[in-house]
Amino acid sequence: MRAIFWLGLPLSTVMARTAFYKGSQPKVKESITSPRGWVKHAPAPPSHVLELKIALPQPKFDALEQYLWEASDPGHERYGAYLSKEETYALMSPHRGSVEAVVDWLASYGFEEGHLVRSPANDWITIRAPVSLAEKMLDTTYHVYHHAQKGDTTVRTLSYSLPENLHGHVDFIQPTTMFARFKAFKSTLHWSGQAELVPASLGNGTITGPAGNQVDASCNSTITLTCLRQLYNALNYTTSATNGNKLGLTGYLNQYANLDDLQQFYLTQNPAALGSNFTFVSVHGGTNNQSLLAAGDEADLDTQFGFGLTYPTPGTFYSTAGEPPFTPSALEANDTNEPYSYWLGYVLSQDDIPQTISTSYGDDEQTVPYNYAVRVCNEMAALGARGVSVIFSSGDGGVGDNDADPATQQCFTNDGRNVTRFVPFFPATCPYITAVGSTAYIPEKAIPFSGGGFSNYFPRPPYQELAAQGYIDKLAPGTYQGLYNPYGRGVPDVSTQGLNFSIFWEGKNVHVSGTSCSAPTFAAFISMLNDARISLGLPPLGFLNPFLYSSGYKALNDITEGNNPGCGTEGFNATVGWDPGKSDVTA
């Protein structure tokens, strides 16, 4: 009988070494109930390869967070004094004993140093293992799960264990219990000329904006670069191509930014940019297929409006590989988590990072394991501490998740209790990023699909205490009691236009809508502000929220009309001041 080899060692030898590992008996590290919507299909193929990411604790994160608050507070002496890459890593690194314990445990299963992929801060260790070995290491059984409504397929488990004395050295291991589906926040797609949702009367000529600025009346039916520059007072501002300011946009789920589409867009909306391009960066094997039929409407939208608004500011498009919906088989290379961790690991390792970065992807907060969400959020904080304004769209399900019960339209928890509850979106709920919702029309009002609400994972951050509590105090007693967490981080922070954006996709002019439109729009205007600051010798704005909530809101236009229905309710109403129905918009 031939021995089965893994990593150069017979499996019998690996198991013998495991028996002598100094750890104690396995103890459950993480366990979930059967996730809502997913059905167990069959045992996972033993040879299917998993790329396991092991997260080690970050004992100095409190110090990093404190530095973030100080560097982002306009009233603090450290405002704008951002950390270097090396200083950030020093505050992200685990204790040496944690690294040694994990490496020793992995060695007991035959993983030598050459098999380990370490993050620069040593807070992540990644290995590749077939399901058969992963099941032994984690004392678990993997299965193929199928999403009954959406058709997605993934390889996961509901519980895994580690030696008890290893628990304090490992925050979590994934992919194990993560059932996030991860999607682009794009609400609708219309062919040019198709009847669309517009105000009853468009009028002719111009409309007066909130600051007395004149906006073309056509912007009430179709949003262009000129509309946004008119509405948000940047019509005559020209950015620099050489002062060091940059804008970054992220792409996931095989969303490719087509260059021919970009040039057609420039030809019609910004002829000065015609012939220009962005820098493409591949992360974890990400590509940018230029076949016209492979063009991604999300990636086209982001790059056309993000880079179109900020030209000639240099732009970077990050394409990160990884797509959770897949068909597992022995022929496939690996299974993936949602890919934020890969992108964060890459961008934090760079010496030069764009000062503003926008992302229009996410998922229901409850589908992302709590420990995983916290770690990803902490790494967003590290980006902020390095002076990056991190922008995310707030989601396109109002207060719900677009997966509400078809009969009742109610939303339910994913913890096996099936409790009726609003569903916030992650990473928008992370307190270290700026979440962007959507408005429509001029004068602007909240748009129904705009994601908003309160996190069930993250407590309300200090900068938001007065604004969020002020809104909750205005609600009638008992409003939505039990449907949301009144102590959670509120979303969104700001909003911009998000309806009927005119783009080119697959060579055709189409209109798209969603908070996917709003995030790159807001990021582009923040990039313009960073451009002006850098040209004056000032540091970039960095993490925006402490400034926005303390004094920056005074430069914003308050939206007091509209709401964001979902889960069988009318959602949260827009009102004077901050609210989770839309928040304020740039002015």
The model carries a pTM of 0.92
302 is catalytic: yes
Average pLDDT score over residue span 308-330: 79
Q: State the alpha helices, DSSP H only, in 465-567.
A: 465-474, 515-535, 545-550
87 is catalytic: no
Judged by average pLDDT, the poorest of 189-193, 232-236, 249-253, 402-406 is 189-193
The span from the CA of 355 to the CA of 80, in Å, is 12
Q: Between residues 341 and 228, which one has the greater pLDDT?
A: 228
CA 432-427-96 angle, to 5 degrees, is 65
Nearest to 222 by CA among 243, 193, 242, 244: 193
Nearest to 535 by CA among 238, 306, 229, 235: 238
Structural domains in the chain, sorted by start: 5-58+93-179 (no CATH), 189-586 (3.40.50.200)
Tokens of 196: 């669309």
265 with 504: CB under 8 angstroms? yes
298 is catalytic: yes
Average pLDDT score over residue span 497-521: 96
Q: What's the Cα-to-Cα distance from 484 to each of 37, 147, 455, 558, rounded to whole Å?
A: 21, 26, 8, 24
Q: What is the pLDDT of residues 23-77, one digit of tens each?
A: 479 999 999 987 888 899 899 999 999 999 999 999 999 999 999 999 999 999 9
Bridge partners (DSSP) listed for residue 437: 495
Q: Going by C-beta distance under 8 Å and a sequence separation of 6 or more, which residues neighbour residue 193?
A: none
Is pLDDT of 20 > 50?
no
- Dihedral, CA of residue 386, residue 389, residue 395 and residue 396, to nearest 10: -160
Q: Between residues 411 and 314, which one has the greater pLDDT?
A: 314
Q: Between residues 495 and 1, which one has the greater pLDDT?
A: 495
Nearest to 251 by CA among 339, 334, 161, 320: 320
Is pLDDT of 475 > 60?
yes
Judged by average pLDDT, the poorest of 200-204, 303-307, 560-564 is 200-204
Q: Which residues of 351-382 are buried (b: 16+ CB within 10 A; e: fewer)?
A: eebbbbbbbbbbbbbbbbbebbbbbbbbbbbb
> Which residue in 65, 261, 297, 298 is the catalytic one?
298
Q: What is the DSSP string of 52-70?
A: EEEEPP-TTHHHHHHHHHH
> Which residue in 72, 108, 341, 516 is the catalytic one?
516
Is pLDDT of 193 > 50?
no
Q: What is the DSSP string of 85-104?
A: HHHHHHHHPPPHHHHHHHHH
Is pLDDT of 184 > 70?
yes
Q: State the alpha helices, DSSP H only, in 291-339.
A: 297-310
Q: Which residues of 525-550 are buried (b: 16+ CB within 10 A; e: fewer)?
A: bbbbbbbebbeeeeebbbbbbbbbbe
> Which residue in 152, 297, 302, 363 is the catalytic one?
302
Quote the pLDDT of residue 587.
45
3-state secondary structure 169-233: HCCEEECCCCCCCCEECCCEEEECCCCCCCCCCCCCCEEECCCCCEEEHHHHCCECHHHHHHHCC
Quote the pLDDT of residue 204.
72
